[in-house]
Every structure is written in structure tokens, then in C-alpha cells.
Amino acid sequence: MSRLLAVAFILFCFEVGLFLVFVPWSVLWDSNLLLDYVSFVRPLILHNVFRAGVSILGAIDIFIGLAELRYFLKSLRVINRSSL
């Protein structure tokens, strides 16, 4: 069960990371309906520095996913060596 959770966590990190890296620079970010209702936040959220910050958080999340993948593969190698 813990292997399944580890794989799910790794995939979650990659998905969220890729979303946070690419979506701030897409049309989806500009056409957000929430920005129409909270108009005083619109200039902040559409600013390039804010978008870059969100993309950096996505890159950090991808890095966490890669680190967890490395740890997961290392633990699988240890399990395979001990079973031989």
C-alpha cells in the first residue's frame, strides 16, 4: 500500500508542478472569471513577477517529485537486492 501511495504522490507532484509552470503563461490565466469579481487583485495576479513566482513554485514541486522518484527507485533496488 505504501508503494501505491508513493507513486500517487510522485505523480501528484509532477501534475501540480507542470500545471503551475505552464498555466500562468497561458490564456486560461488571463480569462479567469474570479478576476472579474475581485477586480482589485487583477493587476497583481496578471503581473509577470507574480506569474514567474507561481512558475517557480511549480518548478520546485517538480523537483520534489524527482527527488521522491529517486528515493522510491532507490528503495526498490534495496528491496530487490534483499529478496535475492
The pLDDT tens digits along the chain (84 residues) read: 588 999 999 999 999 999 999 999 999 998 888 888 888 899 999 999 999 999 999 999 999 999 999 999 998 888 777 766
Q: Identify which of 30, 12, 20 has the alpha carbon closest to the alpha carbon of residue 53.
A: 20
**What are the backbone angles phi and psi of residue 47, rounded to the nearest 5°?**
-75, 145
Plot region of 47 (φ>0 → left; ψ -120 to 50 → alpha; else → beta): beta
pLDDT at 83: 67
